[in-house]
Structure 1
Amino acid sequence: MGTACLRFVLQAVDPALGCPILEAQFSLETIEPLVAILGDEVRDVLDGAIWELDASDLERLSAVVGFVFPRQFGEVRLVEWSTLRAVPYLIHTEFELALMLEGRKPFAAFGDAYPNDCFEAWMALFDPFVEEGRFVRRIIDQPFPSPKRNASGETVEGIRSVYVALRGEEWRIEAWIETWKTAALSGWNEALERRQGELLGYTEWQCDWWAVNRRDVLTPRR
């Protein structure tokens, strides 16, 4: 076998936190072995799609990857390896709720077109903690002049931004909004990039690393 050039990650997702709690990585020369057992649509994973796996999928997959991934920890999904995994600290994306409950992340920002059942289900995980008063949340809808069709052919009515902060850190919501207003007037720059990282709860050394090492191939952090 030659050198593997595609990397994938299996994830077990905690249903209450919405984040991976167990992961395993594997590599393949091509995606064809996955196509053979999961079907042609699994190619969408190479474009950023998330592929959910059931028990029979995992059983067939084990013959390809050489190990059995457990199912008892939560829903199992397949994703492509991301360049963000090469960053020497945890990127908060997907771990927002868990980090906020631990007090390690003061603020998170989300956005997507609406209506979107998947996005709403994800945001609903924050509801109990907003109701308890542990989190402060602001939702801003920006309706389109008229409904549009997204890439999947679904009708969307606008863009929904959801901002969530720890109680006492809600000032970060307005500060975040102001950074984007500034960017709209002056354009994005390194100072705004650092400010974004600080508001999201990244440490000084993490912001320093990001400023030096960030490349176009790195997708946006949250």
Structure 2
Amino acid sequence: MPQSHFLIEAFDLEQWCPVLQAMLPVDDPEALRAILAGVADDDPELEKTYFLDDEELAAIVATFNVSFDAAQLDSKDLEISLFRWRSSDRTPYLTHTGYELPLLLEGRKKLARMSGLYPPMAFEGEDRFELWVTKGVLHREEVNEPFDQPVQTSHGQTYLGQRIVYYTPKGEEWRIRASKLIWDASGKSGGWNECFERLEGMLFGYEDWQNDWWITRGITGGGFDGLSCCCMVTAGGLAWIEAAGFRALPPIDGPTLAIMMHDWENEADQYAAMLGDPESVAVARFNMLGRDFMNFWTSQRGGPWHLPAVRIAEFNRFLRGSVEIVARRDDAATNVRSARP
């Protein structure tokens, strides 16, 4: 379907999952932008998520002739949003992302792994999961992985480490131990691959045919290490990456971070060109699954892609494995030398 399709979604804050969606084709993006009344002026491709009030929702339903009636729902606490639909979202089964809580309660999902940087010491919606932990329906385990030293962003936010919270239905606690072993094994055996992906899918509770489809897509899409990308790094950014244990890209002072697809055949020339920037002291390489990459851009082709500074923290959530420093500017000469952490 064309990329000019959007979804209106009703998100139930009590059940903590979407409960109603409607797709609408948009031939005139400016008509949609006008309804959003100025909040989308800095979003030329309408890539962001927009939360709608009653007036905006009514205008979109009338203008684009879409059927969306949240009043038919029993939900009492709804949040209505609008966002662009992507062809990468076309999966022949319900993916667990965004539906973790109800699927855990139904027993269809056997394990949830929620991760993010801290502080804060809570992810959005965590209180809804905790309610079922206190009722004895779900089991919970938390793992905190502190950085070697605190990391501060250009916006003044300080992060102390990474936080992972696991949930399982009661009786399925063994899956948490198995998940930890899988991630540990992947780090000691050359990285993530389709075998680890299948094992993780089985732990999550996906059916065999769903894992088959997902793995076939992963193999044809370039493997489970994902797309190999790179970016230039300033002296401050390099220090930040090292302090963060090579687990994330650094915050930046400029408006955007230029991301390029790694050129395996001409990497030396690519590194040299990137180090030609006077502010660049190193080149960082990292991997991301294609499906996650598409959350930020409409295409994997072309490039460079310009990642807004405010989305770097979000981008980091989807990195696969470590960030590698693959080239540095030699202080004593202009030659490029390879380097790995």
What TM-score results when the alignment is normalised by the length of structure 1? Answer: 0.85
- Structure 1: distance between partners of 2:140 and 2:165: 7
Q: Is the 8 A contact 2:24 2:64 kept in 1?
A: yes
The structure 1 residue matched to 2:14, chosen from 13, 16, 34, is 16
Residue identity in the other structure for 1:86 = R
1:58 aligns with 2:131: no
1:135 alignment counterpart: 138
SS in 2 for 1:136: strand
- Structure 1: distance between partners of 2:81 and 2:202: 31
Q: Is the 8 A contact 1:45 1:79 kept in 2?
A: no
Residue identity in the other structure for 1:107 = L
Q: Is the 8 A contact 2:22 2:67 kept in 1?
A: no
- Structure 1: distance between partners of 2:82 and 2:117: 24
Matches for 1:19-34 after TM superposition, within 5 Å: 19-29=17-27, 31-34=29-32
- Structure 1: distance between partners of 2:109 and 2:55: 37
1:77 aligns with 2:81: yes
Residue identity in the other structure for 1:59 = A
- Structure 2: distance between partners of 1:133 and 1:45: 45
Moved more, 33-42 or 206-215: 33-42
Residue identity in the other structure for 1:204 = D
- Structure 1: distance between partners of 2:42 and 2:32: 7
SS in 1 for 2:123: helix
The CA deviation at 1:128 is: 1.5
Structure 1 residues 33, 98: closer, same or farther in 2, change over 3 A? same
Residue identity in the other structure for 1:43 = D
* CA-to-aligned-CA distance 1:80-108 (integer Å, 9 cap, x gap): 21445311111010111111111111111
Residue identity in the other structure for 2:185 = T
- Structure 2: distance between partners of 1:45 and 1:183: 37
* CA-to-aligned-CA distance 1:158-198 (integer Å, 9 cap, x gap): 22111101111111111111111112112111100111111
1:217 alignment counterpart: 290
- Structure 1: distance between partners of 2:43 and 2:6: 12
Matches for 1:176-215 after TM superposition, within 5 Å: 176-186=179-189, 187-214=191-218, 215=221
The structure 2 residue matched to 1:146, chosen from 145, 150, 155, is 150
* CA-to-aligned-CA distance 1:19-63 (integer Å, 9 cap, x gap): 11110011224633322221225738854x432111121122224
1:167 aligns with 2:240: no
Q: Is the 8 A contact 1:42 1:51 kept in 2?
A: no
Q: Which has the larger radius of gyration?
A: 2
Structure 1 residues 51, 116: closer, same or farther in 2, change over 3 A? farther
1:98 alignment counterpart: 102
2:280 alignment counterpart: none
Structure 1 segments unaligned to the other structure (5+ residues): none
Give percent identity, aligned residues only.
34
The CA deviation at 1:77 is: 0.9
- Structure 2: distance between partners of 1:168 and 1:22: 31
Structure 1 residue runs of 4+, over 6 Å off? none
Q: Could you say which structure has the higher helix fraction?
A: 1
- Structure 2: distance between partners of 1:153 and 1:58: 35
- Structure 2: distance between partners of 1:44 and 1:181: 42
Residue identity in the other structure for 2:65 = G
Structure 1 residues 46, 109: closer, same or farther in 2, change over 3 A? farther
Structure 1 residues 143, 44: closer, same or farther in 2, change over 3 A? farther
Residue identity in the other structure for 2:43 = R
C-alpha RMSD of the superposition: 2.5
- Structure 2: distance between partners of 1:158 and 1:97: 25
SS in 2 for 1:23: strand
SS in 1 for 2:139: strand
SS in 1 for 2:125: helix
SS in 1 for 2:43: helix
